[in-house]
Amino acid sequence: MNSSTHNALDQLDSLGWWYQHFQLPNGLWTGDGVEPGYYPQPRWEMIAAHMPADLGGKSVLDLGGNAGYFSIQMKLRGAARCVLVDPYVQFLEQAKFAASQFQVDIEMICEDSHVYCLTTQERFDYVLLLGLLYHLKYPGLVLDRAAEMTRERIYIASAVIGPEVEGPAKKANYERYTEDDLLLDPGFPKMAFIETLYNGDPTNWWLPNHSALPALMRSAGLRVIARPHQHVLVGEPAENFDQQFGTAIYGNLVFPRYGKGDGTTHPGAQSVDAGLWKDLGARAAEFRKRQREGK
């Protein structure tokens, strides 16, 4: 192992545990794919099949961008500008390191996506909203803004609960009481509200079922053009989007503080819980030790 690989391993050590496990140009991996981390490459292949091979001149917004894997792919595909938004300082440090390894320039914003989307009037050619929706207390609000910010395509990935079934056929109106059963059908769009924790994670708030994702997208003014996986959807602004929707701008918007009693309050910059970060760091150190030993 040469000295630059040693240096990169030291830097990886100092950055702790990674959620996105991918290979750096020097051949080192950020992790071994073990949960709660994952390999994002298959998800990338699903969405990459629905975008031009050359993103030359295009702008990209990566909401909840984590360690930057998808932003880096968009830049490597030629995107002119990429903005990554994530409130967790540890993940942004990783994204800075990963971007430098791939020698790509990404604008990093340490901010909650609610606040970011409600305080910018920028629009982007491509918007990534991957693995974020269920982490939001106000998912419809961010989705509506993200739709409005999208010029060409938006890519949405979300955890989903329940079976992969379509709902009863959509009706223009549901009669109170007499048709409530239709709303309770497992295929009717629904989101489960998580008051406490889901999968031990206090940042999970709403879990959609199979039909809720396209319904939410349609009601945000998007047309769903592909669903390459139950969890992954591709959308674009519907034909009449500009006439039907748009922005309402208030000079003095007040946003509620919210949280789950674990000490964190959102929105604002966040730090991963110290105990959890230590535990995850110990796992990462084990993986790193194996990498040092060439295993």
Ligand X SMILES: C[S@@+](CC[C@H](N)C(=O)[O-])C[C@H]1O[C@@H](n2cnc3c(N)ncnc32)[C@H](O)[C@@H]1O
Contact indicator for 104, 78 with CB cutoff of 8 Å: no
Tell me which of 31, 40, 139, 208 binds ligand X, using CB under 6 A.
Answer: 40
Nearer to ligand X, 137 or 190 (CB): 137
- The residue from 15, 82, 108, 132 that contacts ligand X (CB under 6 A) is 132
By CB under 6 A, residue 84 contacts ligand X: no
Contact residues for 167 (Cβ-Cβ < 8 A; gap 6+): 185, 187, 188, 189, 211
Residue 261: Cβ within 10 Å count? 8
Residue in 16, 17, 18, 20 binding ligand X, rule: CB under 6 A = 20
- Contact with ligand X (CB under 6 A) among 21, 58, 135, 190: 135
What's the burial of 199, exposed, middle or buried (CB within 10 Å: 0-12/13-18/19+)?
A: exposed
Q: Could you say which of 17, 18, 22, 91 contacts ligand X (CB under 6 A)?
A: 91
Q: Which stretch binds ligand X (CB under 6 A): 73-81, 84-92, 226-234, 274-282?
A: 84-92
Answer positive or negative: Cα dihedral of 241, 120, 54, 71: negative
130 near ligand X, judged by CB under 6 A: yes
For 277, the 3-state DSSP assignment is: helix
# residues contacting ligand X (CB under 6 A): 21
Toward ligand X, which CB reaches closer, 112 or 148? 112
**Interactions with ligand X, residue window 61-80 (CB under 6 A):** 63-66
Helix (H) or strand (E) holding 207: strand 206-208
113 lines the binding site for ligand X (CB under 6 A)? yes
Least distance to ligand X from the beta carbon of 270, Å? 7
Nearer to ligand X, 88 or 287 (CB): 88
Among positions 37, 61, 84, 86, the unique one binding ligand X when judged by CB under 6 A: 86
Residue in this structure with the two tokens 């989903």, named with its chain if needed: 160
Q: Is 88 in the site for ligand X (CB under 6 A)?
A: yes
> Rule CB under 6 A: is residue 158 a binding residue for ligand X?
no
Query: How many Cα atoms within 13 Å fall on the side-chain side of residue 249?
Result: 7
Residue 118 CA to chain centroid, in angstroms? 17
Q: Answer yes or no whether residue 208 interacts with ligand X by CB under 6 A.
A: no
The 213-252 site mask, x for binding ligand X (CB under 6 A), equals: ----------------------------------------
Are the CB atoms for 44 and 70 separated by under 8 Å? yes
Q: Alpha-carbon distance 203 to 132, whole Å?
A: 10
Name the residue nearer to ligand X (CB basis): 59 or 203.
203
The per-type count for the chain, helices as H runs and strands as E runs, is 10, 9
Nearest distance from residue 241's CB to ligand X, in Å? Answer: 24
- Helix, strand, or coil (residue 10): helix
Residues 53 and 96: their CA atoms lie apart, in Å, by 25
Q: Is 16 in the site for ligand X (CB under 6 A)?
A: no
In the block, tokens 């803004």 appear at 145
- Residue ranges binding ligand X (CB under 6 A): 19-20, 40, 63-66, 85-88, 91, 112-113, 130-132, 135-136, 157, 203
